[in-house]
Amino acid sequence: MAFINDNYQKLPGNYLFSEIAKRVAKFQSENPNAKIIRLGIGDVTQPLPQVCVDAMKKAVDEMSNAATFRGYGPEQGYAFLREKIADYNYKRRGIDINADEIFISDGSKCDCGNIQEIFSLNSKIAIADPVYPVYLDTNVMAGRTGSLKADGHFEGVVYLPCNAENNFSPSIPNEHVDLIYLCSPNNPTGTTLSREALQNWVDYAKDNNAVILYDAAYAAYITETDVPRSIFEISGARDCAIELRSFSKTAGFTGTRCGYVVIPNELTGSNSAGDKIPLKNLWLRRQTTKFNGTAYIVQRGAEAIYSEEGQAQVHELINYYMENAKIIREGLKKVNLTAYGGVNAPYIWLQTPDKMSSWNFFDKLLTEANVVGTPGAGFGPCGEGYFRLTAFGNRENTIEAMNRIS
Ligand code: MLT
């Protein structure tokens, strides 16, 4: 008898975006003429920057020639990409991160899900509510939580409520935790954490020998100059933080797949004997055992954004989506809906009208306006009464969606 991992049965229903896709497919099959506009899952719609396409074509040609062909790549990713990331995203901003602290992957979702494996099952986790579901669901699957309670929270998890009252900035818990998931710019609320808030988190983590898992997948969308783009801008973060980043939203790689994890050399965790073990070594061990690297072709495509031309093309892409964000924010304001985010992030987090439940609002928008968004409750109980729209649609659909909503 093959027994299953019982932890999977603690999870209610489907993964959030699978559930939405299922509901939308059902509606479409019952209403074949409905012209559905999808502003639900944060999936990009614009083509890859030309520099990435050209670099990948060149890499494909290299693969067709025995003299330039590549098989398995270096374990942490190719140095050409790691060095450019360290230079453009860190050193040029005065942040102390080196290429040997960067691990290339096939995207941030996998990294967010896998990183918990290098920590003890006894680790107490703290997550925001609402939250990107991957952080929580993967900890449930691993057995780091108890069962789901009637209030929608799992036993054994420290939830950090984020709402309009606290500016969507989670408060420091008044108990000890070992792992803290932070995401800024935030998915789903589209808001950011201030330098002061991040300093408080770093200070807490150091006092508690905790590790911050900092998801900065949307860092490229920050427009305000005083908002930190990396946890490593914060003093002391090298001793207590891991950063996760992605090319998905920065350069349209949702289908192409490339991301990376930054683990400082001096960051350690304790083993049960109390010895300090470098987390970087554990992650390398995990990746070399379970992962064989990101395609050479894709890494060459990612590298291409780190040139003057590449940066210009990426900015153009991001400006396109941020103009959509502005259209959504202004459209919602016109119909007197309160909304947050959309200034430093491609997500707009709105309060549902008349305190409607977020799934009811989802159904209303789908059936009456044929517009798909994401119900806030899908991100956690504190998301109830909120709804997320993404700025990743094309311009025409974004304008049309706002017309229909109003
Ligand atoms: C989202 O819609 O929240 C994102 O697309 C999810 C992801 O990046 O995996």
Q: How far is CA 130 from CA 25, 120, 134, 162, 307, in A?
A: 25, 24, 12, 7, 37
Per-chain mean pLDDT for the chain: 97
Residue 50 has φ and ψ, to the nearest 5°, of -60, -35
User: Cα(240)–Cα(238) distance, rounded to whole angstroms?
Assistant: 6
What average pLDDT does the segment 180-184 reach?
98
Sole residue written with tokens 């670099």:
55
- Who lines ligand 1 at CB under 6 A? 41-43, 109, 132, 187
> Element (H or E) spanning 150, and its range?
none
Mean pLDDT of 377-394: 97
Residue whose Cα lies nearest atom 6 of ligand 1: it is 42
Q: d(Cα 97, Cα 160) in Å, to the nearest integer? A: 29
In percent, how much of the chain has pLDDT > 90?
A: 98
**In angstroms, what is the span from residue 88 Cα to ligand 1's centroid?**
25
- Predicted local confidence at residue 190, as pLDDT: 98
What share of the chain has pLDDT > 70, as a percent?
A: 100
Tell whether the model's pLDDT for residue 313 goes beyond 90: yes
Give the model's confidence band at 360: pLDDT under 50 very low, under 70 low, under 90 confident, else very high.
Answer: very high
Residue 14, pLDDT > 90, answer no
Q: Which ligand 1 atom sits closest to the C-alpha of 188?
A: 3
Residue 13: the pLDDT is 82
Cis upstream peptide for 188 (omega within 30°): yes
Compute, in angstroms, the gap from residue 29 CA to the centroid of ligand 1: 25
| Mean pLDDT in residue range 83-110 | 98
> Which residue, among 113, 171, 174, 182, has the nearest Cα to 144 in the 3D structure?
113
**Token pair for 236:** 């002391």
- Mean pLDDT, to the nearest integer, of 141-161? 97
DSSP 269: E
Q: Is the pLDDT of residue 15 over 90?
A: no
What is the average pLDDT across 47-57? Answer: 98
For residue range 225-264, what is the model confidence (pLDDT) as tens digits?
999 999 999 999 999 999 999 999 999 999 999 999 999 9
Residue 401 has pLDDT above 90, yes or no: yes
CA 137–ligand 1 middle distance (angstroms): 14
CA distance 248 to 258: 7
CA 71/CA 293 separation, integer angstroms: 10
Q: Counting beta carbons within 10 angstroms of the beta carbon of residue 403, is it exposed (0 to 12), middle (13 to 18) or buried (19 or more)?
A: exposed
The pLDDT of residue 335 is above 90: yes
Residue nearest atom 1 of ligand 1, based on CA coordinates: 42
For residue 37, the CA-to-ligand 1 centroid distance in Å is 17
Ligand 1 center from residue 43 Cα (angstroms): 7
> How many A from CA of 252 to the centre of ligand 1?
13
Pocket test for ligand 1, best of 20, 187, 256 (most atoms within 8 A of CB): 187
Q: pLDDT category, 112, cuts 50, 70, 90? A: very high
Q: Whose CA is nearest to atom 3 of ligand 1?
A: 42
Average pLDDT score over residue span 175-183: 98
